[in-house]
Amino acid sequence: MLTMYGIKNCDTIKKARKYLDASGVAYRFHDYRADGLEAPLLQGFIDTLGWEALLNTRGTTWRKLSEETRGAAHSAAAARELMLEQPAIIKRPLLCSADGSMLLGFSETIYQSFIAEKS
């Protein structure tokens, strides 16, 4: 079983979910806003992917932050705290398989390969 993490109103999440649905792939959607984000789960993401990969510095949430807050997110600990406070700042979608492998972002080609590998 796959789990997709993100926020439901994200356009990229919508594309990824549409792709999975059209492909008949079973998955569970975890909305950070509705379902929350626990520190141990985020730490697992960081341990696997690295905080730099997870921190979305190109999105609206990042741009709305104060210069001081953005400047403080320069270490794993600071970025982790920021992501816990504002999960919308995490790049998405994050697709996780039961074996612990993770895929960040969306591309039909990459999803196709990832899903084939997990089947």
For residue 10, indicate whether it is catalytic: yes
How many CB atoms within 10 Å of residue 12?
13
Tell me which of 5, 6, 7, 10 is the catalytic residue: 10
Query: What's the distance, Cα to Cα, between the start and end of the chain in Å?
Result: 10
- Cα separation, 72 vs 93, in Å, equals 25
Q: Which residues have a catalytic role annotated?
A: 10
